[in-house]
Amino acid sequence: MKHLKYTAAALALLAGPALAQDTMVIGVSIPAATHGWAGGMNFHAQQAIDRLEEVYPELDFVLATASDPAKQVSDIEDMVATRGISALVVLPFESEPLTGPVASVADQGVWITVVDRGLSQEGIEDLYVAGDNPGFGRVSGEYMVDMMPDGGDIVVLRGIPTTIDNERVEGFEAAIEGSGINVLGMEHGNWNRDDSFTVMQDFLSRYPEIDAVWASDDDMAVGVLAAIEAAGREDIQFVLGGAGMKEMIQRVADGDSMVPADVTYPPAMIATAIEMTAVGMTSSTPVSGEMIIGSVLVTQENADGYYFPDSPF
């Protein structure tokens, strides 16, 4: 009799992991760290997962980074098939290709949190966490107006041609409208240091007098600043980047006159999304809906609060 009991216990033990219903798996699918901002986003995703695994023993996380949309679709399919995820936090590489696959995951009853880049069909996700792209442009434009109340000539470097970039530029243009600020030229620096170095060199050849530069991104600001320095031009008063790269925040904090401010577009928004999803899975706290993380102007006064020395970005 005793023997039988032991066998049953052993069987139960063996079957245990497979039957355990209380462990829930949250899948996190994000683009690989191919540029600075994505690197910071990867860092914050990993940090959030490490922290939440401690806080919620009943949660298990699976993180996958994809270098293209097709790989991301495969990652998500694998998560559903092999890990039986109960929730998916996804930052789509591109909206269009990911919409169908994410929708079919949602149909299986999985909680969907979409981050930053919206899907092209509405109503699929349960929670949407995103940065404020029009706001990012608006805050940048308002800062330009504040800095140059009498107007001035500026050049603009744009990112990779995407909706994100368009929304930012539209927000910026709306903010500077009627202020006397004149945009001499706009070119795509593709959120890349080398490209923006080249574009800025050519802007400097083309325009003998430039008052300020909206680099619209901190990686691009690095390239722009190097080009200005190499050309030895004194006419440019300042360069406004964006996103909150730690080196740039550092320069803002140090009172560098060429980098007087920065506008945030925090890569840590992925942590917000994972955290809210975890809260939603483990409690009855309602977390569905939309959460827009505002873009904040960082100046010397508040720069310390936006400096993350451990982040790669």
Partner 1 sequence: MSTTTEQRAPGRARPWMDLRVLGPIIALIVLIVVGALMNPNFLSYANITNVLARSAFIGIIAVGMTFVITAGGLDLSVGSMAAFIAGLMIMVMNAALPGLGGGLAVILLGIVAALVAGLAAGWINGFLITTMRIEAFIVTLGTMGIYRSLVTWLADGGTLSLDFGLRTALQPLYYGGLFGVSWPIITFAVVAIIGEIVMRRTAFGRYCAAIGSNDTVARYSSVNVGRIRLLTYVGLGLLVGVATIMYVPRLGSASAATGVLWELEAIAAVIIGGTMLKGGFGRVWGSVVGVLILGLIGNILNLTDAVSPYLNGAIQGVIIVLAVILQREGKAGT
For residue 134, the minimal CB distance to partner 1 (Å) is: 20
Q: Which stretch binds partner 1 (CB under 8 A): 4-12, 32-40, 125-133, 252-260?
A: 32-40
* Residue number, 143 or 197, with CB nearest to partner 1: 197
Does 36 bind partner 1 (CB under 8 A)? Our answer is yes
- Of the candidate spans 19-27, 93-101, 175-183, 305-313, the one that interacts with partner 1 by CB under 8 A turns out to be 305-313
Span 185-244, contacts to partner 1 by CB under 8 A: 185-188, 192-194, 197-199, 201-206, 219, 222-223, 226, 230-231
Measured CA to CA, the distance from residue 182 to residue 140 in angstroms comes to 15
Options 42, 133, 264, 272; binder of partner 1; rule CB under 8 A:
42
64 vs 103, beta carbon nearer partner 1: 64
Query: Does 35 interact with partner 1 (rule: CB under 8 A)?
Result: yes
At closest approach, how far in Å is the CB of 269 from partner 1?
16
* Calpha distance 224→239 (Å, rounded): 8
Please say whether the dihedral angle defined by the alpha carbons of residues 5, 7, 11 and 14, taken in this order, is positive or negative: positive
Q: Does residue 37 contact residue 220 with C-beta atoms inside 8 Å? A: no
Is position 172 an interface residue for partner 1 (rule: CB under 8 A)?
no
> Bridge-partner residues for 214, per DSSP?
156, 240
Distance of alpha carbon 98 from alpha carbon 155, whole angstroms: 35
Instruction: Tell me the C-alpha distance between 90 and 246, whole Å.
Output: 25
Query: 3-state class of 312 per DSSP?
Result: coil
Helices then strands, counting H and E runs in the chain, come out as: 10, 12
Q: Indicate whether 39 belongs to the interface with partner 1 (CB under 8 A).
A: yes
Q: What angle do CA 102, 69, 35 make, to 5 degrees?
A: 120
Give the nearest distance from C-beta 296 to partner 1 in angstroms.
Answer: 21
What is the size of the binding site for partner 1 (CB under 8 A)? 38
Verify binding: residue 161, partner 1, rule CB under 8 A. yes
From 129, 300, 136, select the one nearest 217 (Cα to Cα): 136
Nearer Cβ to partner 1, position 143 or 203? 203
Amino acid letter at 7? T
Round to whole Å and give the CA distance between 278 and 48. 10
Integer Cα distance of 112 and 92 in angstroms: 12
DSSP-derived secondary structure for 212-240: EEE--SHHHHHHHHHHHHHHT-----EEE
Yes or no: say if 209 and 237 are a contact pair by the CB < 8 Å rule. no
With CB under 8 A as the contact rule, the residue among 24, 26, 28, 38 that binds partner 1 is 38
In this structure, are residues 298 and 307 in contact, taking their beta carbons and an 8 Å threshold? Answer: no
The verdict on 28 binding partner 1 (CB under 8 A) reads no
| 183 binding partner 1? (CB under 8 A) | no
Q: For the CB of residue 169, give the shortest distance to partner 1 in the complex, in Å.
A: 12
Q: Does 33 bind partner 1 (CB under 8 A)?
A: yes
The answer to whether 168 touches 191, Cβ cutoff 8 Å, is no
Q: Which two tokens stand for residue 56?
A: 């919620």
If binding is defined by CB under 8 A, does position 71 make contact with partner 1? no
247 binds partner 1 (CB under 8 A): yes
In angstroms, what is the minimal distance from the CB of 1 to partner 1?
Answer: 58
Q: Is 60 or 202 the residue whose CB approaches partner 1 more closely?
A: 202
User: Would you tell me which residues interact with partner 1 (CB under 8 A)?
Assistant: 32-36, 38-40, 42-43, 158, 161, 185-188, 192-194, 197-199, 201-206, 219, 222-223, 226, 230-231, 247, 311-313
